[in-house]
Amino acid sequence: MSVIQKIKDIEEEMAKTQKNKATALHLGMLKAKLAKYKRELLGQQMGGKGSAAGDGFDVSKSGDARIGLVGFPSVGKSTLLTKLTGTFSEVAAYEFTTLTCIPGVIFYKGAKLQLLDMPGIIEGAKDGKGRGRQVIAVARTCNLILIVLDAMKPLGHKRLIEKELEGFGIRLNKQPPNMYFKKKEKGGVNFNHSGNFTPTHLDTDTCRAILGEYKFHNADITLREDCTVDDLIDVIEGNRVYIPCLYVLNKIDGISLEELQLLDQIPHYCPISAHLEWNMDQLLEMMWNYLDLVRIYTKPKGQIPDYNSPVVMKRNPAVEDFCNKLHKAIMRHFKYASVWGASVKHNPQRVGKDHVLLDEDVVQIIKK
């Protein structure tokens, strides 16, 4: 029996099984088996013959952040890339116009953002259909995913794309489970929790059964929040990526105001018309916020700050992180830094390497 057939059989059994306390253990074991088979399938797809990403898929990462456009064929990804970056991506009224991964660059707030227009994925992409596996593999390397939806049929497409990405270990708009897990040589399975809550999804028997599927018989598990069976499997697998996601609702010029107000209830969404360039400013601002970036300006001694070329970093960087981003050798001669901006009480203020910088701070490095 092929791995794909085994996955299909388990998914069918899970669909038939009622969800209640009596079946929780059985469902947990099925989920663990499913995760193992999906990892096995991923290994076959990525390690076998013809597993290379293919023409246009091995795009090197550049700029301060990478953003991927994911969606079904003909939802307007290529038009959106062209409008945002000026990079031409073939546009037509038929499906599968884009067959390779086309990169473009957005210059926004002094940052250089790489935008990737990927071929439209189809249902079953996670199982190797079409070029979906290459698309989703590239999506795993992104700092932000834009799921582009057609305003005429948004919710059906949204659920299908989420299923495909989830099947490939991508967790959208989620944080890693707050759980401690460690394998050990002996001592059995020790399960406990810390904090003012009572676990409702996991207990010692469930953990022992799931770990048994992985041939782990000795481990320590400590919950710091009310984690689920899926969270435990994610931690054991260890290959999940947690990526922020924006749902870009395109072609809103084709729906009524009442329909748009209904769709306004979707979380993490931004309505646009790429063709007519409606609401593109809000999309760019939301992309910036979801990337969670800050701009730090450098100030050479005796000169004015360089406001044209900010150092773009993830939010809340320490002065040491800032120095390492400039050059690894700076910290060897670091004495202190003078900082102007929102992170200090006085302008300028002398700070050490552990001081946390905020957006648009100006930093001058003083060497020994």
The helix (H) or strand (E) run that includes residue 314 is: strand 306-314
Q: Is 347 left (phi over 0), alpha (psi -120 to 50) or beta?
A: beta
Q: 320 with 122: CB under 8 angstroms? A: no
- Complete DSSP assignment for 246-305: EEEEE-GGGS-HHHHHHHTTSTTEEE-BTTTTBTHHHHHHHHHHHHTEEEEEE--TTS--
Distances (CA, A) of 130 to 133, 142, 148: 8, 21, 19
SS3 113: strand
Residues 168, 134: Cα–Cα separation, whole Å: 11
Distance of CA 143 to the CA centre of its chain: 6
SS3 354: coil
Residues 276, 250: Cα–Cα separation, whole Å: 10
Residues 278, 91: Cα–Cα separation, whole Å: 18
Q: Is 245 left (phi over 0), alpha (psi -120 to 50) or beta?
A: beta
Q: What is the pLDDT of residue 44?
A: 59
Q: 250 with 151: CB under 8 angstroms? A: yes
Q: Judge if the upstream peptide bond of residue 348 is cis by omega within 30 degrees of 0.
A: yes
Q: What domains are defined for the chain? A: 3-49+177-237 (no CATH), 65-174+241-291 (3.40.50.300), 293-367 (3.10.20.30)
Is 265 exposed, middle or buried (CB count within 10 Å of its CB: 0-12, 13-18, 19+)? exposed
Within 10 A of 48 (CB to CB), how many other CB atoms are there? Answer: 8
**Strand pairing category for 219-223 and 179-183:** antiparallel
Q: What is the pLDDT of residue 360?
A: 96
Q: In sequence order, what are the beta bridge partners of 191?
A: 221
Q: 70 with 121: CB under 8 angstroms? A: yes
Which residues of the chain have a pLDDT value below 50? Answer: 48-56, 92-98
The reported pTM is 0.86
238-241: long-range pairs with CB below 8 Å, 24+: 239/39, 239/169, 240/169, 240/170, 240/171, 240/176, 241/140, 241/169, 241/170, 241/171
- At which residue do the structure tokens 């320590």 appear? 220
Within 10 A of 307 (CB to CB), how many other CB atoms are there? Answer: 13
Q: 227 with 174: CB under 8 angstroms? A: no
Q: What is the pLDDT of residue 123?
A: 58
* Closest by Cα among 84, 60, 114, 117 to 312: 114
Residues in the chain: 368
Within 10 A of 40 (CB to CB), how many other CB atoms are there? Answer: 13
